[in-house]
Structure 1
Amino acid sequence: MTDHTAPYGPRSSGLGLHGDFSVWAPDAHSVHVRADGRDHTMAPGPHGWWHARVPGAGPGSDYAYLLDDDPVPLPDPRSRHQPRGVHGPSRVHDHGRYEWTDRTWTGRPLPGGIVYELHVGTFTAEGTLTAAIEHLPDLADLGITHIQLMPLNAFDGTHGWGYDGVLWSAVHQPYGGPDALKAFVDAAHAQELAVLLDVVLNHLGPSGAYMPRFGPYFRGETDWGPSLNLDGPGSDHVRGHVLDCALDWLEHHHLDGLRLDAVHALSDTRAVPLLPRLSAEVEALATHLGRPLSLIAESDRNDPATVLPREAGGLGMNAQWSDDLHHALHVALSGEKHGYYADFADPEALPTTLTRVFWHAGTHSSFRGRTHGAPVDTTRTPGHRFLAYLSSHDQIGNRARGDRMARHLPPGLLLCGAALVLCSPYTPMIFMGEEWAARTPWPFFASFTDPDLAEGVRRGRRHEFAALGWRAEDVPDPMDPATRDSAILDRGERDNEDHALVLRTYRSLIALRRREPELSDPRLDRCGALTGDDGRTVVLLRGRLRVLCNLGTENAGIELDAAPTEILASHGRAGISGNTVRVPGQSFAVVRL
């Protein structure tokens, strides 16, 4: 475990348990803690830390800090419980009081897994962790191995995506608070499901961001606001806070891994950057706990060093999201070529991303106006280190209306995309509802309590899409509760035959991946992909297996090197005559040579 006692301060998991309070406020001249309604003077200590013992305080006590002459009490930057929202006091939370039932859980490694991205606030109408537990058996039955929860840390308002969080370690109270998360993880482990959490450490949201009032947590700017101070004065304490936060999620909430949002926005010039240090700490914790723990990075750099081991000069992440395959699939299936999709209109984009991860691998990106990325060494880097997906919260939610591909494409084309993802050498990820071709949108929404901020977000969203030709009235109001409500999954759709067909096929594809070792084989140099002359037929080569996709509307004859036998087809049976497989339009077939 990380020792931050000097100079970083105490481990945050014990905050206030025995009436002992500590806070880092290096520039303050005086600090008071208001605990259970009474103010207590804190004593300065080394390295900018302040301490106080409050007799009688403990689990369940509400507390906040007052800095210098400011009469407004502020929540603890390391808070574990915010029952009254991000502007209210923190509450002392005792992790040890929860009675876990997952003592036999030994974890699940990410290699060989199937990840399911889930947003608690729209997964059910109730929008709570407790309500989500009811549907865990469905995910286990589907063949999911890892649930990736979108951010849960406290943000202003009731509903939102979660990327506007301001208290990194407090579970959003409208979702149920810390014990609700523990109950969800406990129930998931009972279903043999690992749980990952999306954490946002690169910026704070615009409302309730009191952390900078305490110390130099931020310096510089990112696209989303101030940049985390990882290499300036005081950065030792900031890094200590980040490490404590990550380890607390994994150890005390029994999570199985973290997805790190936008690591490319973490500016860090120190000799030992934060991410390798985090990787080492998590590896040590995994050894202590006796179960695998995963770190998955979101990175816009297309840099294979993100997933290289620390010993090889990499960042030591277990995996990273890879948008390039998504973009290539989106263009091939939908024909959309605007914005960053334009670079993926090349017919070689899809076979390249299916076998070599990145399309931009030291090549020119017209969207960025420069050369971008670096190639992956396919002989040494296993495919399971990259997440592949047909959809994600970003790629749906950042469309003006949040419309899913199922709104525009027939089931057959969606299943072709699913077959390529689920039969790829990568770690597949499914965005919630995708498995039955959900048609409910997933637009951007928030619920900030400040009217001026709410109006600013509303105007900003409309201005952003006006530049792309959208009328203001066609962009959903992100502050209207109806926008969030429109995103709630409609499980009644599954009774419709088209949706039921998609769900059955997803189950079959996942089962096939588990059954056939050639499909889960992560060795990229053993994977091949070809496209027909018109770009409408795609063949994925996986050992002796072939995944044949016909993206066109007419039947296509695909000639193979030997006479195959059919394993799975999306629409009835494919026609096999000698070495030729006739695949109906907008369908796929998996065959064995």
Structure 2
Amino acid sequence: MSTREGDPFEVWAPDRGRVRVRVGGADHPLRPAGGGWWRSDTTARTGDDYAFLLDDDPTPLPDPRSLHQPAGVHGPSRVYDHTAYTWGDSAWTGRALPGSVLYELHVGTFTPEGTLDAAIGRLDHLVDLGVDLVELMPVNAFGGADHGWGYDGVLWGAVHEPYGGPDALKRFVDACHRRGLGVLLDVVYNHLGPDGAYLPRFGPYFAGETAWGPSLNLDGPGSDEVRRYVIDNALGWLRDFHLDGLRLDAVHALRDSRARHLLTELSAEVDALAAGLRRPLSLIAESDLNDPRMVTPREAGGHGMAAQWSDDLHHALHCALTGEDHGYYADFRPPEVLPRVLRRVFLHDGGYSSFRGRTHGAPVDTAATPGHRFLAYLQNHDQIGNRAQGDRMAARTSTGLLACGAALVLCSPYTPMIFMGEEWAAATPWPFFASFTDPGLADGVRRGRRREFAAMGWAESEVPDPIDPDTRRSAVLCWDEPERPPHKAVLGLYRDLIALRRARPELADPRLDRFTVEADPDGRGLVLHRSVLRVACNLDGAERAFTLDRPARRVLLTSAPEAAAEGARVVLPAESFAVVDTGGPAPT
């Protein structure tokens, strides 16, 4: 329920004895309207700046359901009219998640300008790459001068003004749709950021704590309106901004003991909206639970998410390609882990997790669950940005192994996701950064970051200052890299892999019960079976020969020109892959 032209000003503040709205320098009383809601006799006009005053507190507060915050998270809200924007995507019928390739994009570092309008100027690169869906990291209003990751948002329905505000997001989505690109948005409902978190002053929105801040009240007194707040926010992004889906951040932190979980309720409402809009809408969960019920259909007792991120797939790939085995990578060290996880999705599917110190997860029913319900990726914002220096995989892995990793992801039965710049092995890091202006908060973030990595053996001088503007600037993509070696060759390989995935539907076949992986005992040689296609990967530092189960007819794509196939024998140079067509009817 957001304020728009001609509507009364409304706000949910169940525990307050008096509420006023300040518009144009004048204060107007609101009257109780039932259920903890307050409503004014004054009506809104597009462009009006307004703020609420609670009881006798003289501090004007932004609207919890604000759609526009031109003066930042501490300033007044502005009445915004969704109908004023003229859309140009009437021919857009949507983009289904199965078979698609995703591209994770952070607006503030995708271009030097760090705006949605500037990002539009680079969309043709994504079209040429072969991307189907762009996943935007959070664009909700967050505290700070300008730049940050976006996961510390405090006004969930307003587009961060330094990115361009609400009209800029609509222009971006419009531009994507005209190019055949769908758009997903990362949303954060599990906590509030530390700067501008006024929401709890209005009502019982939060109860308890998460590792990042106060935990959403989903099952306590007053939680009916809190749940409605989340669902209405999600539906608003999809309906009013023409988005094609949402990525739900860290849903394991949504503590909900009700008989019907918030995620189940949300997926039902989104499906209903999709039917009305006549285009697919996808909900993708980030979950640390390794619980297949996340993506099990509601009618089968699950939450009905379209997909979830699979960090186990990432960890297995990362460990095999980089050799890192510290922290949570330790369980992924054995050579049999990568082929197992490629086949089964989760390593921790009921067994012991040394990092957690307990058993964890549950197995995926590979006969009933399609692979497109799990996202596979070599890199993402967390797995890069939560490293001390934000170093990408390209900083510690050869281009040959990066190519093998790309082949394993893009030729797998899972939904592939690429992190921006990965497609050309970008040399720029992507460290954590923020721009908090409060000196105490800024210093707390700085010290907390250094303390976290000091426990891992990093010297203070080795950890970038997250508040220093140069840290953000270091993360901005360098757009002349793709034209230079070795980046140009990596980009060409990514394009070729995605094109082959489109040309040969076998590579996107999500049926896990028809997907097999052969692996050498040392785990350095793998062959994926994709119907009549074989994807051979040599992760070793020396040449390796593979004996296929069927004679090779031709090599469709390889990262090494000297790769050779004769009969059922394929010889690959060190750190290379080949996609081989064995021809004939597909195996049954």
Q: TM-score range by the shorter chain?
A: over 0.9
Q: Tell me which residue corresponds to 2:586.
A: none
The one-letter amino acid paired with 2:156 is: W
Q: Tell me which residue corresponds to 2:295.
A: 307
**Matches of 2:4 and 2:507 in 1, distance apart?**
51
Is 1:239 matched with 2:239? Answer: no
Matches within 5 A, 1:360-439: 360-439=348-427
Q: Give CA deviations for 1:58-79 in whole Å, capped at 9, x if unaligned.
A: 1100000000010000000000
Give TM-score scaled by structure 2 length.
Answer: 0.98
1:20 to 8, 32, 41: 8
**Matches of 1:149 and 1:16 in 2, distance apart?**
26
Q: Tell me which residue corresponds to 1:3.
A: none
Is 1:443 matched with 2:431? Answer: yes
Q: What stretches of structure 1 of length at least 5 have no aligned partner?
A: 1-10
Q: Give CA deviations for 1:233-262 in whole Å, capped at 9, x if unaligned.
A: 000000111011000000000000000000
CA-CA distance at 1:544 after TM superposition: 1.4
Matches within 5 A, 1:193-592: 193-564=181-552, 565-592=554-581
8 Å CA contact retained: 2:20, 2:27? yes
Is 1:39 matched with 2:27? Answer: yes
**Matches of 2:95 and 2:356 in 1, distance apart?**
38
CA-CA distance at 1:534 after TM superposition: 2.2
The one-letter amino acid paired with 2:563 is: A
8 Å CA contact retained: 1:261, 1:298? yes
Q: Count residues in correspondence.
A: 580
Q: Tell me which residue corresponds to 2:126.
A: 139
The one-letter amino acid paired with 2:555 is: E
**Matches of 1:206 and 1:513 in 2, distance apart?**
43
Q: Tell me which residue corresponds to 1:148.
A: 135
2:83 to 93, 96, 105: 96
**Matches of 1:440 and 1:472 in 2, distance apart?**
21
CA-CA distance at 1:577 after TM superposition: 2.9
Q: Name the SS for the 1:497 alignment partner.
A: coil
The one-letter amino acid paired with 2:299 is: E
Q: Name the SS for the 1:511 alignment partner.
A: helix
The one-letter amino acid paired with 1:406 is: A
8 Å CA contact retained: 2:335, 2:521? no
CA-CA distance at 1:573 after TM superposition: 4.0
The one-letter amino acid paired with 1:114 is: V
CA-CA distance at 1:327 after TM superposition: 0.3
**Matches of 2:515 and 2:74 in 1, distance apart?**
52
8 Å CA contact retained: 1:19, 1:53? no
**Matches of 2:544 and 2:421 in 1, distance apart?**
30
Aligned structure 1 segments of 4 or more residues deviating by more than 6 angstroms: none
CA-CA distance at 1:365 after TM superposition: 0.2
Q: What stretches of structure 2 of length at least 5 have no aligned partner?
A: 583-588
The one-letter amino acid paired with 1:592 is: D
The one-letter amino acid paired with 2:85 is: Y
Q: Name the SS for the 2:359 alignment partner.
A: strand
Q: Tell me which residue corresponds to 1:169.
A: 157
Q: Tell me which residue corresponds to 1:4.
A: none
Q: Tell me which residue corresponds to 2:67.
A: 80
Q: Name the SS for the 1:242 alignment partner.
A: helix
8 Å CA contact retained: 2:560, 2:572? no
8 Å CA contact retained: 2:562, 2:573? no
8 Å CA contact retained: 2:336, 2:521? no
Give TM-score scaled by structure 1 length.
Answer: 0.97
CA-CA distance at 1:44 after TM superposition: 1.1
The one-letter amino acid paired with 1:568 is: L
CA-CA distance at 1:498 after TM superposition: 1.1
8 Å CA contact retained: 2:401, 2:539? yes
Q: Tell me which residue corresponds to 2:108.
A: 121
CA-CA distance at 1:434 after TM superposition: 0.3
8 Å CA contact retained: 1:116, 1:148? yes
Q: Tell me which residue corresponds to 2:585.
A: none
**Matches of 1:45 and 1:290 in 2, distance apart?**
35
8 Å CA contact retained: 1:558, 1:582? yes
**Matches of 1:146 and 1:291 in 2, distance apart?**
14
8 Å CA contact retained: 1:35, 1:54? no
The one-letter amino acid paired with 2:457 is: G
